[in-house]
Chain A
Amino acid sequence: MTLSLKKPTYPVPGLDTFPKLLLHNARMFTDKDAMREKEFGIWQSWTWSQVAEEVERFALGLQANGVKAGDTVLIIGGNRPRTYWTMCAVQSLGAVPVPTYHDSVASEMQFVIEHSDARVIVAEDQEQVDKILDVKARCPSVELIIYDDPRGMKGYDPQEIKIQDFVTVQAQGEAIRKDNPNQFQELVNQGKGEDLSIILYTSGTTGQPKGVVLTYDNTLLTGYYGGLLEGLTENEEILAYLPVAWIGDHIFSYAQSYTMGFCVNCPESTETVASDMREIGPTYYFAPPRVFESLLTNVQIRMEDAAPFKRKMFKYFMQVAKKTGIKLLENKPVGLMDRIKYALGNVLVYGPLKDALGMGRVRLAYTAGEAIGGEIFDFYRSLGINIKQLYGQTESSVFITVQPDGEVFPDTVGTPSPGVELKIADNGEVIYRSPGAFHSYFKNPESTAATKTDEGWVHTGDAGFMTPNGHLRIIDRAKDVGAFNSGKMFAPKYIENKLKFYPHIQEAVTFGDGRDDCMAFINIDLGAVGNWAERNNIAYASYQELAAHPAVNKMVAQSIAEVNESLLDDEMLAHSQVSRFLILHKELDADDGELTRTKKVKRKLINERYKVLIDALYEGKDQCFIETEVAFEDGRVGTISGDISIHDAKTFNPVVQAS
């Protein structure tokens, strides 16, 4: 599939907005299901033509209530058909929908209500309406609240704000439609691809949330190109269970559904997602790594409880799957005997297991957001589930890179998506230019200017590099990345994460920025190493004594050597092997200000406090005396002092490949 991306390629020429696509789908796929929701124990469905009618009636009703082009309309709701219809209805008027997280508390909601200038809010139920009424005094712009679920709404009649039922608004729209059947079509025709389509507020770990403004060309084209790349059709089934205010859900359950014409299924409630998924059997699925992880843990726990025969069968066939499953998925050659074993395993184990997970029909699954453990990744792939990683953010309308079929590696996030230009900036930061690159931050020109250059390059804030086979690897947040004296990149967290993967290493701090090579402080895990010491008859009285034990140092040296060897695989990181290390005499502690409360290393403080040790590492000394203050839990302050021995770690010379 090759796309000419010089100019936008729409699913159907001229159909450059979602409302236009909706009317098109209503003609194309008239009686095909567009949306389902489980309600009263039964899956209720709406065809594309029914959805178009619902949207039309609500849009005209909104217009009758004064919503006009350029307005913003706040949407507070879970994954329900009416939430998605509201988005399209608002868009068809030329107004901009602002979906927000329905589980946020009133004070968080207040910021978004205020900042978005919304005059009209469409809320799911009484709970959401209550939150709005709580903060309405500070949000004078709100004039009308429309609610979906009438339960408990009897007797709500505040003076300042008009409150209306969704159905009532639709009835107003219906009356208008009777008088003027073409009004909706005329409204829809006015939309253009470069118009604003949605504002999504990002949670923002620092400071206030930012409203990311996206155009139709951003979301519609990115969703469409992504769908073409993976060969999605109108026959896909997807379960909409992630927050609608999150860009992922907006692309997968809205943009791609409209551009590809496939059906979106809404679960009965947030607690029933697992069983609803089993009933629907989605063919296209997204989940963050932690979901895949917890599903796997569940499977393992339940297998431990299973009868011995079943347990043995599971273990045996999972071994078979590990050996052949991934090869089969990637169409690589597999022997006949292995094929027969895998086929048998499919009948006895993999099939039923996938069915229990609701993944029996999954053709394509994505995961993103953070690194996924190689073992978890391989587990699903060996079952024949085509799970792939992608890399993206709200500002890029999700897709920056995706792993192509047959080139799926646990430690990279794939190659650039269609239309995406990717560059690594001089400081190692990943920057991109793409059809999905956001329009601006809403009412925040400073942040927009800081993130997006005039030529359209967007800064991700992540540091990464391209592997020789053209894949992107993300290694760290850009602000933590430094450089060796040789000018080569130093990514501390990447190495530290590799070290912390060993159960006996609790914490690691690496140094290398502005130095010749990489060295490390290690904290051992008292639980794991203590246990090991007991089993090996090593006596110790304190953390300090255990940390200083030669056998422990030897064990850590071994782990570091293994990490060093694994770093060899990466041309970009081969030079950041840990050459020397020491095991700290005390555990790094949040009480001493060395860690944040969320257990993140405070590099600057450690650099200052342990300067003696860092100097000793780089001066090549074998030993160093240190005295540090420690705060005890009762608030008293004491000191810990002692000699710390410094060890060399085994490093490996990069093999220069003859080319």
Chain B
Amino acid sequence: MSEPLQQMEAASKLLELKNIDLSFGGVKAISNISFDVMEGEVRAIIGPNGAGKSSLLNVINGFYHPQQGEIWFDGKQRHAMKPYQIAYQGIARTFQNIALFKGMTVLDNIMTGRFTHMHKNMFWQALWKGPAEKEEIENREFVEHIIDFLEIQAIRKTPVGRLPYGLQKRVELGRALAAQPKMLLLDEPMAGMNVEEKEDMCRFILDVNDTFGTTIVLIEHDMGVVMDIADRVVVLDYGRKIGDGTPDVVRNDQTVIDAYLGVSH
């Protein structure tokens, strides 16, 4: 391979995991997993229950620290970090079980997603007038664009706890988007939704990818959804990677079929 081509490939690789091992005591959650995420793609992680999908997301997110292996993000190797430091690096996520502030309005919840973009110190915040106000107005404007994007204008001032599940999921996506992440991690964004809500969510995910160029890594159980919207798919089973490639390749892979349909071990 010529040198410029190598460089180009390195530049378009947003995230790379090399030989990740993660165990809790004697339980090995992830063993020797390597894969990469290219800039601007929609990457899906699938696998049966307990395959280690959420653990893997937590590793990327910096919530778990793998015992072995390397993580490269945006061209730099990552060392042990707190999740908020990861957030500053440009990774945002949503959760399998919605983790919003139930008593706060939709607007306020999404505003919390802007914390990485608020730089004025406590003095200015307390004084309020002046730079802090200006900063708040700028952030609010950004949040309003997200509200418009996700078509949730009607519930702007509604406390999140009063919203149906499907809308809460959308608000959570909004909060993650507010951080203007380079990479967005979605943990089962369509779990528990009806067909119509799923279609809406698919549309939003593709639009996010399209409009903002955000790289998306998602875990999802609905195979139809994954095959439709993902560019590439990683398949996990018992903490190991058993497949990796385009939806078509993965769909026809015998190991993957066995893992899903079950074979006698």
Find out whether the CB atom of B156 lies under 8 angstroms from the CB atom of A41. Answer: yes
> Can you give 28 A-B contacts (C-beta < 8 A)?
A38-B153, A39-B148, A40-B141, A40-B144, A40-B147, A41-B140, A41-B144, A41-B147, A41-B153, A41-B156, A42-B144, A151-B149, A151-B207, A151-B211, A152-B203, A152-B207, A152-B210, A152-B211, A154-B210, A154-B211, A155-B210, A268-B154, A269-B151, A269-B153, A269-B154, A271-B154, A272-B154, A275-B154
Find out whether the CB atom of B153 lies under 8 angstroms from the CB atom of A268. Answer: yes
Shortest C-beta distance, A282 to chain B (Å), equals 19
Residues of chain B with a CB closer than 8 A to A272's CB: 153-154
Q: What residue in chain A is nearest B156 (Cβ atoms)?
A: A41
Could you list 10 further interchain pairs (A-B, Cβ under 8 angstroms) beyond the known A152-B206, A269-B154, A271-B153? Answer: A38-B153, A40-B141, A40-B147, A40-B148, A152-B210, A155-B210, A268-B154, A271-B154, A272-B153, A272-B154
Question: Which residues of chain B in 128-144 are interfacial with respect to chain A, using CB atoms and an 8 Å cutoff?
Answer: 140-141, 144
Shortest C-beta distance, A124 to chain B (Å), equals 13
Residues of chain A with a CB closer than 8 A to B203's CB: 152
**B145 close to chain A: CB less than 8 A:** yes
Count of chain A to chain B residue pairs whose CB atoms are closer than 8 Å in the complex: 34
Q: How far is the CA of A328 from the CA of B12 in the complex (A)?
A: 74
Residues of chain A with a CB closer than 8 A to B207's CB: 151-152
Residues of A within 8 A of B (CB): 38-42, 151-152, 154-155, 268-269, 271-272, 275
Question: Which residues of chain B in 23-37 are interfacial with respect to chain A, using CB atoms and an 8 Å cutoff?
Answer: none
Main secondary structure of the interface of A (DSSP, over half): loop
Nearest 3 A-B pairs (CB), nearest first?
A271-B154, A40-B144, A41-B144
Residues of chain B with a CB closer than 8 A to A155's CB: 210
Shortest C-beta distance, B55 to chain A (Å), equals 34
Q: How far is the CA of A630 from the CA of B211 in the complex (A)?
A: 62
Q: What residue in chain A is nearest B203 (Cβ atoms)?
A: A152
Main secondary structure of the interface of B (DSSP, over half): helix
Shortest C-beta distance, B205 to chain A (Å), equals 12
Contact of A40 among B145, B151, B206 (CB under 8 A): B145
Q: How far is the CA of A42 from the CA of B147 in the complex (A)?
A: 12
Q: How far is the CA of A155 from the CA of B211 in the complex (A)?
A: 12
Q: How far is the CA of A120 from the CA of B156 in the complex (A)?
A: 36
Residues of chain B with a CB closer than 8 A to A152's CB: 203, 206-207, 210-211
Shortest C-beta distance, A151 to chain B (Å), equals 7
Residues of chain A with a CB closer than 8 A to B206's CB: 152
Q: How far is the CA of A192 from the CA of B211 in the complex (A)?
A: 45
Q: How far is the CA of A275 from the CA of B158 in the complex (A)?
A: 12
Residues of chain B with a CB closer than 8 A to A42's CB: 144
Residues of chain A with a CB closer than 8 A to B149's CB: 151
Shortest C-beta distance, B58 to chain A (Å), equals 32
Q: What residue in chain A is nearest B210 (Cβ atoms)?
A: A154
Shortest C-beta distance, B99 to chain A (Å), equals 25
Q: How far is the CA of A40 from the CA of B203 in the complex (A)?
A: 21
Q: How far is the CA of A39 from the CA of B147 in the complex (A)?
A: 10
Chain A CB within 10 Å, residue with most, of B141, B154, B203, B207: B154
Q: How far is the CA of A424 from the CA of B78 in the complex (A)?
A: 86
Residues of chain A with a CB closer than 8 A to B145's CB: 40
Residues of chain A with a CB closer than 8 A to B141's CB: 40
Q: How far is the CA of A271 from the CA of B157 in the complex (A)?
A: 13
Q: What residue in chain A is nearest B206 (Cβ atoms)?
A: A152
Indicate with 1 or 0, residue by residue over B205-235, a CB within 8 angstroms of chain A CB atoms. Answer: 0110011000000000000000000000000
Residues of chain A with a CB closer than 8 A to B211's CB: 151-152, 154
Q: What residue in chain B is nearest A38 (Cβ atoms)?
A: B153
Q: How far is the CA of A40 from the CA of B142 in the complex (A)?
A: 9
Q: What residue in chain B is nearest A269 (Cβ atoms)?
A: B153
Q: How far is the CA of A39 from the CA of B151 in the complex (A)?
A: 11
Shortest C-beta distance, A108 to chain B (Å), equals 21
Q: How far is the CA of A154 from the CA of B207 in the complex (A)?
A: 10
Residues of chain A with a CB closer than 8 A to B144's CB: 40-42
Q: How far is the CA of A47 from the CA of B229 in the complex (A)?
A: 44
Q: What residue in chain A is nearest B207 (Cβ atoms)?
A: A152
Question: Which residues of chain B in 145-169 are interfacial with respect to chain A, using CB atoms and an 8 Å cutoff?
Answer: 145, 147-149, 151, 153-154, 156
Shortest C-beta distance, B119 to chain A (Å), equals 23
Q: What residue in chain B is nearest A40 (Cβ atoms)?
A: B144
Chain B CB within 10 Å, residue with most, of A38, A41, A275: A41
Residues of chain A with a CB closer than 8 A to B154's CB: 268-269, 271-272, 275
Q: How far is the CA of A38 from the CA of B149 in the complex (A)?
A: 14
Residues of chain B with a CB closer than 8 A to A41's CB: 140, 144, 147, 153, 156
Residues of chain B with a CB closer than 8 A to A271's CB: 153-154
Q: How far is the CA of A40 from the CA of B148 in the complex (A)?
A: 6
Shortest C-beta distance, A152 to chain B (Å), equals 6
Shortest C-beta distance, B153 to chain A (Å), equals 5
Q: What residue in chain A is nearest B149 (Cβ atoms)?
A: A151
Residues of chain B with a CB closer than 8 A to A268's CB: 153-154
Q: How far is the CA of A155 from the CA of B206 in the complex (A)?
A: 13
Question: Which residues of chain B in 75-125 are interfacial with respect to chain A, using CB atoms and an 8 Å cutoff?
Answer: none
Q: How far is the CA of A269 from the CA of B149 in the complex (A)?
A: 12
Q: What residue in chain B is nearest A270 (Cβ atoms)?
A: B154
Q: What residue in chain A is nearest B147 (Cβ atoms)?
A: A41
Q: How far is the CA of A268 from the CA of B207 in the complex (A)?
A: 20
Indicate with 1 or 0, residue by residue over B174-217, a CB within 8 angstroms of chain A CB atoms. Answer: 00000000000000000000000000000100110011000000
